[in-house]
Amino acid sequence: MSIKPQELTLEGFRPYGHFVALNNLPPNTVIIGGGKVKFHPDLLELDTGGANPTFSTCVVEWRDGVVDVSEIHECGELILPLNGDILIHVGSPTLKDKPPLDHIEIFRVPKLTAVVLHPGVWHHAPFALGELPVITLIGLPRRTYHNDCTVVELSESEHIRFIPAE
């Protein structure tokens, strides 16, 4: 039997599931933030038969190697850079009021490498390597950024600087 491939359309694929083209988001897509970091929450939801994770994108552009904000939540998180390498900062779980500034590490994550953070690990938006914006897929339980997220902005004296070598 031969089957001719067909173009993927929402209507044609509806009996089997749903999709979103990450390089052509619908005009009504929610954006949190702006400037060099744009977070597109809850683009896709995967039914796992229990807690439903959602998949969002975080589009990051080149910015200086300075960690000036960090966040923590009580769930794990998937980070998957799709079209370029990124750097992420991470810190061990602590109380929710302050990241462990003496124990922050930064890792280079090659494109198409999925990283899963344990619950309670301090982190924030990745840093893009290179000149082009990097689209990063983020997997979290639905609405984590509203229900289970503590964001801490660091004072200038607490900023963590690094050299984002290529």
Question: What are the pLDDT digits (tens) for 56-86?
Answer: 999 999 998 899 999 998 888 888 999 999 8
Gyration radius of the chain over CA positions: 18
| Domain-embedded: residue 62 | yes
> 122 or 18: whose pLDDT is higher?
122
pLDDT of residue 84: 94
Quick: pLDDT tens for 96-116. Answer: 788 988 888 889 899 888 898
Name the residue type at position 127. Answer: F
Output the 3-class SS for the chain: CCCCCCCCCHHHHCCCCCCCCCCCCCCCCCCEEECCEEEEEEEEECCCCCCCEEEEEEEECCCCCEECEEEECCCCEEEEECCCCEEEEEECCCCCCCCCHHHEEEEEECCCCCEEECCCCEECCCEECCCCCEEEEEEEECCHHHHCCEEEECCHHHCEECCCCC
Q: What is the pLDDT of residue 59?
A: 96
Instruction: Say what the pLDDT of residue 72 is.
Output: 93
pLDDT given at position 12? 75
Overall domain count for the chain: 1
pTM for this prediction: 0.79
pLDDT, residue 71, reads 95
Residue 6 above 70 pLDDT? no
Longest dimension (CA), the chain: 68
pLDDT > 90: percent of the chain? 31
Distance from C-alpha of 95 to C-alpha of 31, rounded to nearest angstrom: 29
Is 9 inside a domain boundary?
A: no
> What's the confidence (pLDDT) of residue 49?
52
For residue 104, tell me if it sits in a domain. yes
Average pLDDT, the chain: 84
CATH number at residue 144: 2.60.120.480
7 occurs within a structural domain: no
Domain extent, residue 116, equals: 26-161
10-19, 60-69, 88-97, range with greatest mean pLDDT: 60-69
